[in-house]
Chains A and B, each alone.
Chain A
Amino acid sequence: MSGPSTYEPKTGIERWLDSRLPIVRLGWDSFVDFPTPKNLNYWYTFGGILTVCLMVQILTGIVLAMHYVPHVDYAFASIERIDRDVNFGWLLRNIHAVGASMFFLAVYLHIFRGLYYGSYKAPREVLWILGVVIYLLMMAAAFLGYVLPWGQMSFWGATVITELFGAIPLVGGPITEWLWGGFAVGNTTLNRFFSLHYLIPFLIAGVVGLHIWALHVPGNNNPTGISVKSSNDTLPFHPYYTVKDGFAIAVFLLIFAFFVFFWPDALGHADNYIEADPLVTPAHIVPEWYLLPFYAILRAVPDKLGGVILMFGAIAVLFVLPWLDTSKVRSMRYRPMAKWFFVIFLLACLGLGWAGAELPDKMVPGLEAIGVDFLLFGRVLTIYYFAYFLVILPVLGFVEKPTERPASIDASVTGGKSAAPAAAPAE
């Protein structure tokens, strides 16, 4: 998508098509001959894995919609029917439900990869922002989809999340009624959630197109964070990265299949196999694992509006991250201090997930002696979460002394041995 095209149509038909719709040229320049840094490690395979995840969700989702009934009286039963009576329904539903978790697992690894190697920095700010947009759309799709089975967690999850908007001063009440289409989560709500759940994956596919476009203008970042300087630093995408991505996808699908076939309910909640009941809230309601850190941030604040602002702020801060990190060095491989703050940040995010899963007044195992309950635990980690973006990264750029970086991507791989050919004409 950038740079001079190397595509040469070989047959008459290709030439005919190329002068009318150069779609083969686009594919060739984007996914065959696209110059890619030659030092990409396996953390860089999650883009391809995520594309597979999106396709799996869309395909299984389209067929599940052929059997699902978006009505409060039938939704729960229609899911059971899919599980028991529809041919291979059990398989398709398990793939779709497990697929949501696998999608988030992959996207978190993809995001943390970007955070560690500084992939959000110039000239990739727009690429990063588009990624955060996709992540937001994913969370919306996951939330809406979780409501559809109309179990207890579906209903109460929908109630709690939509009531968040009630915290907005003045317009909060009208907005929640607008979201519900009534005075509580009900049939109207389920109908529209189904409609939107079907829409969002296609929006995601559109933004993924922009994400890849924005990737192909500056090209891939890489573990050294050093820009590509000569063709010696790169390899054509095909076959080198199609094969590497393909292998990673195969391993990923093995893990995916393990959950689908052997442990399909491991990542869900048993309460969601009880049909929705507006009269009884389950004793312990929690979101799906991939939203737990944000739930912990929400609970960390004793004030309703404050909690909501902080929770949305946790995602909003990602949008401005490219301008918060003041360091000139992209990759944390060469940032001796940032590297450790990053590790703590990673642990803090995992800890927030843990805090979100537990009751707030329960003591943290191992910290009972000093009286730390999960509420306090979550509060401390919330402070670190925001400090990482708003204090640590802005300040580190000025106080940290980066270690020596290799002269080029090529030098980092070969130790400089192929430096001589680099000086020669590239081809």
Chain B
Amino acid sequence: MTDETQTHDGDGETRRDFIFIAAGVTAAAGGVFTLWPFIDQMNPAADTLAQSTTEVPLDSLDEGMGITVMFRSRPHFVRRRTAAEVTEATDVDVARLPDNDARNVNIEDGAPATDENRSAVTATVADGVEVDPAYARSILVTGANCTHLGCVPTGGEGDYDAWFCPCHGSHYDTAGRIRRGPAPENLPIPPMTFSSPTTLVLG
């Protein structure tokens, strides 16, 4: 038996090495391809990805009023801020914010977190619609889940007169920017379009 194998020494071992490596690679690749459907099935399904838009009528909002709407299965704050609140948010030195990124998908990535960059002034305006810039500036739409661990902050509370997250104590200001607490980011601004002077479409 030993002699037999030794006669085929040179090419025999090379062939065997090749078969061994080829079988191993095939098994490993096959394993990965088998595993992937089992992993990927947990990702958002096609119907979940087909996200709808949410229309928010703003005309019922008086100054200082806010509502919470659902958009892409998440709550969002829609608030018509008072002039004092806008001023308060504008007067902040953005360089000293914990997160100086506007977190606004309507403008370019990494824009500074000024109040203007956070407000609905940044929304797209549909053709033929005229929006009063001062009015748009007073509107603030943000995701309503704290960027720490996803709780919904309560309005009109906290050290910055806007939102306070009861779960772990994050304070947000009147532009929805994180000011103090464990949350790492400003509340995100969803994609917005004015479809009429007082109607905002999210998505």
> Could you list which residues of chain A lie within 8 angstroms of chain B, going by C-beta atoms?
156, 159-160, 162-164, 177-184, 186, 188, 192, 278-285, 299, 301-305, 307, 360-361
In the docked arrangement, what's the CA distance between A302 and B170, Å? 10
Most buried by B among A162, A178, A278, A303: A278
Contact A299 B150 (CB under 8 A): no
- Residues on B lying within 8 angstroms of A by beta carbon are 39, 42-45, 48, 51, 68, 70, 72-75, 144-145, 148-154, 165-169, 181-184
B44 x A156 contact (CB < 8 A): no
CA distance A250 to B98 in the complex (A): 57
Q: Interface residues of B: mostly helix, strand, loop or mixed? A: loop
Query: Across the interface, which residues of A come within 8 angstroms of B169, CB to CB?
Result: 360-361
Within 8 Å by CB of A181, from B44, B182, B183, lies: B44
CA separation between A192 and B43, bound complex, in Å?
A: 11
Are A159 and B74 touching (Cβ within 8 A)? no
- A159, B72: Cβ atoms closer than 8 Å: no
Q: In the complex, how many angstroms separate the beta carbon of A302 from the nearest chain B beta carbon?
A: 6
Instruction: Say how far A358's CB is from chain B's closest CB, in angstroms.
Output: 12
Offer 22 A-B interface pairs, CB within 8 angstroms, sorted by A: A160-B149, A160-B150, A164-B149, A177-B44, A181-B42, A181-B45, A182-B44, A184-B73, A184-B74, A188-B45, A279-B68, A279-B75, A279-B152, A281-B152, A281-B166, A283-B166, A285-B167, A299-B182, A302-B181, A304-B149, A305-B184, A307-B182
Are A159 and B150 interface neighbours, CB within 8 A? yes
The number of inter-chain residue pairs (CB within 8 angstroms) is 87
A299 to B68, CA, bound (A): 27
A160: which B residues are within 8 A, CB to CB? 149-151, 167
Contact residues in A for B181 (Cβ distance below 8 Å): 302
A156 lies within 8 A of B151 (CB): yes
Contacts of B165 in A (CB 8 A): 281
Return chain A residues, CB-CB under 8 Å to B183. 304
Nearest chain-A residue to B185 (Cβ)? A304
Q: Which of B48, B72, B167, B184 contacts A304 (CB 8 A)?
A: B184
Q: B75 and A163: CB pair below 8 A?
A: no
- Identify which of A156, A159, A181, A361 contacts B43 (C-beta below 8 A): A181
Closest A-chain residue to B39, C-beta based?
A178
Query: How far apart are A57's CB and chain B's nearest CB, in angstroms?
Result: 25
Q: Is the CB of B43 within 8 A of A183?
A: no
Do A281 and B42 have beta carbons less than 8 Å apart?
no
Closest A residue to B75 using CB positions = A279
Assess the B182–A280 pair: CB atoms within 8 A: no
Asked if B73 contacts A278 (CB within 8 A), the reply is yes
Closest CB in chain A relative to B36 CB, distance in Å: 13
Contact of A360 among B48, B150, B168 (CB under 8 A): B168
CA distance A182 to B42 in the complex (A): 9
CA distance A177 to B184 in the complex (A): 19
Bound-state CA distance A310–B45 (Å) is 33
With A and B bound together, what is the CA distance between A192 and B44 in angstroms? 12
- Taking A278-B75, A281-B153, A285-B151 as given, write out 5 further A-B residue pairs in contact, using a Cβ cutoff of 8 Å, ordered by the A residue number: A156-B167, A159-B145, A159-B150, A303-B182, A304-B182
Q: Please indicate the chain A residues that have their CB under 8 angstroms from the CB of B182 in the complex.
A: 299, 301-304, 307
- Bound Cα distance A301, B149 (Å): 14
Min CB–CB distance B47 → chain A (angstroms): 10
A178 to B43, CA, bound (A): 4
B151 touching A179, Cβ below 8 Å? no
A192-B42 CB under 8 A given contacts A160-B149, A160-B167: yes
The residues of B that contact A186 with a CB separation of less than 8 Å are 73
Which residue of the partner chain, among B39, B48, B168, contacts A299 with CB atoms under 8 Å?
A: B168
